[in-house]
Structure 1
Amino acid sequence: MSDPAPLLEARELTRVFRVGGLRSRKQLHAVDGANFVINPGEIVALVGESGSGKSTIARLLAQVYTPSSGEILFEGTPLSSLRSRRDVLAYRAAVPMVFQDPFSSLNPAYTVVHGIMRGLKLHRPDIGPADREAEARRVLEAVGLTPASQVVGRYPYELSGGQRQRIGFAQALAYHPKVILADEPVSMLDISIRIGLLNVMTSLRDDQGVSLLYITHDIASARYAADRMMVMYAGRIVESGPVEEVLGNPLHPYTQLLVAAVPDPRAELTVTAEMAKGEPPKVIDPGPGCRFADRCPLAREVCRTTTPPLLELKPGIRAACHVAADDLGRGEESTGGAPLGAKLAA
């Protein structure tokens, strides 16, 4: 039996923005040649520092931005082929977005159930007016807001930040989605209540069969909730694979830097902040080469002149790094018998 087709797939996805005024030809490369898939029933974490392009990817998938080049496919159908309003609404119902700020994403003039009811009317014509309130109560309880009767009549200011963010997930769940784009959904919440939202995400995957793209800069929460991880730096995906494999034995030096920022006794950390000094990455009219080269303790001349492709260096693990590719491709010859991690530590 063949594997199921990806729900979402990006092929050479690129988004550039013109900067510097009307006559300027400068371009900011927010996302550059991203290739990835999101499969049914999985949580994929997209991690990286601020400005790496994570939220731009979410907005491209949500059709807030249009790609400068490349293509997005949903269940094998290119989004560029969606022409009718009906098809566009069907896609946006199947791939809704939960935003970072749980307060500004809700209308303070209406009760919190208003957005759910409005979304049901727009995206779920199969549910009649008489049944919408029951469906609204169902999705509220599905995200842990129980009993729903104590929530439906409240306004956003009457709820805590965690409760408001659960409302955001309830709105998305009401559309009967296949993939939820969660853009930093717990970053504005107290750390004591983040675990509850992460559990909501895993329950949506396990109980509702919904896939999620979880965008975050928090390695610990990604490890807790995600099945797979993609690491992004300066507009490019530099490493991807099963979350425990990526964090337990990172191949790319930037991934090692991220892991080193959250010490874990299970991981053999070899890159520290002291080893990765340098200027911020250049994303305005960047030239060829690895964008991490100026901060990388292992950078070679080829790293500054040739952009490394994202290759499968281990089963299921892809990384865009000349050093890692040479090390794993030539074995002991490239490092004098030492693995890449030991070479970084030397």
Structure 2
Amino acid sequence: MSALLETVGLTRHFKVGTGLTRRVLHAVDDVDLTIGEREIVALVGESGSGKSTLARLVAQVHKPTRGEIRYQGSPLSAQRGRRAKLAYRGAVPMVFQDPFSSLNPAYRVSHGILRALTLHRPELGRAARQSEAERVVEAVGLSPAAEVLNRFPYELSGGQRQRIGFAQALAHRPKLILADEPVSMLDVSIRIGLLNVMADLRETEGVSLLYITHDIAGARYLSDRIAVMYGGHVVETGPTEDILAAPRHPYTDLLLSAVPDPRAPRALLDGDAAAAKSDPPVVIDPTPSCRFRTRCPLATDLCHRVTPTLQPVGTGHTVACHVTAPGPAS
């Protein structure tokens, strides 16, 4: 599978405090991630793990502290001019957790979609824009499209508003949609419908998706591959079924142990309950070490001194753990 987008050593730090108390928060550290054509990758982790910051780096909302993003083989740092940046943002749009963040309550639903078409597809005339707006609304499972477009956001349910968020993204003719916790604010009963919409978009529109979630069960349902984040680091990546059948990082195992699914593998580690209640990772001025060490029942002295790097443990399966995939100490 050819790579559509790659991140290489992608890092984002934020300065916190002022004067003598200024410190550095390591939100994302040295992340390598690849998303292929027509592939769905789930980025999984707890709140505060760096998932949304990584998505905003890919969307160019934040500038990286260091590292590189490559789109279709070309580094984004080489882009020059407003037109090139606009083309990229149209190809890689973002759908946010709160659908109201992308819908203006003062305007009808058609406003945002037609505005996206005007900005990113100026070759379309007025009639063609209206026709395309109706098409993308129907593509996300809302009909009759003309009636939906004429409504105000408050007249739609939460699930319908989130579908409109995806319709606005489709109006750009995207190659990759960044979906940041798109179902977390929806009732459980309607989440599966939106997950099905995302799966259908891959088939009907040929798009790839980066699905950001804290719910590994949803990732199992939707994704081809999973990348697990903890404390700003990617700690495990691999094909979804491989990771679910045989997780190699203790944090991944902890996430799976919390899934209320009889098909999920039994936790391999003792002390999961204690780990869940332990202190969060230190991401402000962290020292070289495994950031999961304070919660890990397998931690060794090496884990407290050296930051583990991703090492292969199977076909397409990598893990950053000194215990389950020992790497060279430094």
Provide the TM-score with structure 1 as the length reference: 0.91
- Equivalent position of 1:156 in the other structure: 153
Where do residues 49-128 of structure 1 align in structure 2 (5 Å cutoff)? 49-128=46-125
How far apart in 1 are the matches of 2:20 and 2:116?
A: 41
> Cα offset for 1:208?
1.1
Task: Kindly indicate whether residue 200 of structure 2 is the aligned counterpart of residue 226 of structure 1.
Answer: no
Where do residues 236-315 of structure 1 align in structure 2 (5 Å cutoff)? 236-266=233-263, 267-271=265-269, 273-276=272-275, 277-315=277-315
- Secondary structure of the equivalent of 2:248? coil
- Secondary structure of the equivalent of 1:14? strand
Conserved 8 A contact 1:241-1:316: yes
Conserved 8 A contact 1:27-1:285: yes
How far apart in 2 are the matches of 1:37 and 1:232?
A: 14
Conserved 8 A contact 1:179-1:213: yes
Conserved 8 A contact 1:15-1:32: yes
- Secondary structure of the equivalent of 2:324? helix
How far apart in 1 are the matches of 2:272 and 2:6?
A: 34
How far apart in 1 are the matches of 2:84 and 2:101?
A: 28
> Cα offset for 1:268?
3.0
- Equivalent position of 2:180 in the other structure: 183
Amino acid aligned to 1:274: A
- Secondary structure of the equivalent of 1:103? helix
**CA shift in 2, pair 1:22/1:167, >3 Å:** farther
> Cα offset for 1:23?
4.6
- Equivalent position of 2:209 in the other structure: 212
- Equivalent position of 2:26 in the other structure: 29
CA-to-partner distance for each residue in 1:257-306, whole Å, 9 max, x for gaps? 00001043331322353241521110000000100011100100001101
- Secondary structure of the equivalent of 2:282? coil
Moved over 3 A (4+): 22-25, 263-266
> Cα offset for 1:133?
0.3
Match of 2:200 among 190, 200, 203: 203
Conserved 8 A contact 1:103-1:161: no
Provide the TM-score with structure 2 as the length reference: 0.96
Amino acid aligned to 1:270: L
- Secondary structure of the equivalent of 1:144? coil
Unaligned runs of 5+ in 2: none
Conserved 8 A contact 1:298-1:323: yes
Amino acid aligned to 1:226: S
Q: RMSD of aligned C-alpha atoms?
A: 1.4
CA-to-partner distance for each residue in 1:224-246, whole Å, 9 max, x for gaps? 11110000000000000011111
- Secondary structure of the equivalent of 2:183? coil
Amino acid aligned to 2:17: G
Of the structure 1 ranges 38-47 and 99-108, higher mean CA displacement relative to structure 2 is found in: 99-108
Amino acid aligned to 1:216: T
> Cα offset for 1:161?
0.3
Conserved 8 A contact 1:275-1:296: no
How far apart in 2 are the matches of 1:148 and 1:78?
A: 38
> Cα offset for 1:129?
2.0
Conserved 8 A contact 2:94-2:179: yes
Conserved 8 A contact 2:257-2:266: no
- Equivalent position of 1:15 in the other structure: 12
> Cα offset for 1:315?
1.4
Unaligned runs of 5+ in 1: 330-346
Amino acid aligned to 1:320: A
Amino acid aligned to 1:120: L
How far apart in 1 are the matches of 2:77 and 2:315?
A: 32
